[in-house]
Structure 1
């Protein structure tokens, strides 16, 4: 199996979604009272953060590749 590159943006997105899912699960179980007006914007902010992390990762990898190609 071929080794895949590390994708920090996907890691951030996954952790954000797990956090939101955990908050909703705790709310459904009655352990924590969470308003949807708090969780939905936090999920959107987390996904935007994941997009920024992905863009930065792409830029850094592109810069590193360009440095290797120039003599």
Structure 2
């Protein structure tokens, strides 16, 4: 079982941020030249893709939760036990 649910949007933004950090780190060491404005289009693109992926993942999670609740045929928890004896 997974410890937490998979969040693809956060993965995309994290990878983009790490790539930019690596690119500017390479510029710092003098290995290559990276324009200063590169961070704006890369992060805007990553945030747009992350938003789309988060929306899709939410729909998938919602649909799977709906199908799991439809398969439940037992009595609801509120109708059994001492709380039902009023």
TM-score interval for Structure 1 and Structure 2 normalised by the shorter chain: 0.7 to 0.9
CA–CA separation in structure 1 for the residues paired with 2:49 and 2:36: 20
Larger Rg: 2
Shift of the alpha carbon at 1:37? 2.1
CA–CA separation in structure 1 for the residues paired with 2:7 and 2:38: 27
Size of the alignment, in residue pairs? 70
Shift of the alpha carbon at 1:65? 1.0
**Unaligned stretches of 5+ in structure 2?**
72-86
What does the per-residue CA deviation read over 1:21-53, in whole Å, with 9 as the maximum and x for residues that have no partner? 111111111111111222321122112211211
**Map of 1:16 onto structure 2:** 16
**Map of 1:7 onto structure 2:** 7
CA-based RMSD of the aligned residues comes to 1.7
The structure carrying a bigger helix percent of its residues is 1
**Map of 2:55 onto structure 1:** 55
**Map of 2:70 onto structure 1:** 70
The secondary structure found in structure 1 opposite 2:3 is coil
TM-score, normalising length: structure 1: 0.82
**Unaligned stretches of 5+ in structure 1?**
none
Shift of the alpha carbon at 1:5? 1.1
TM-score, normalising length: structure 2: 0.70
Is 1:42 the equivalent of 2:42?
A: yes
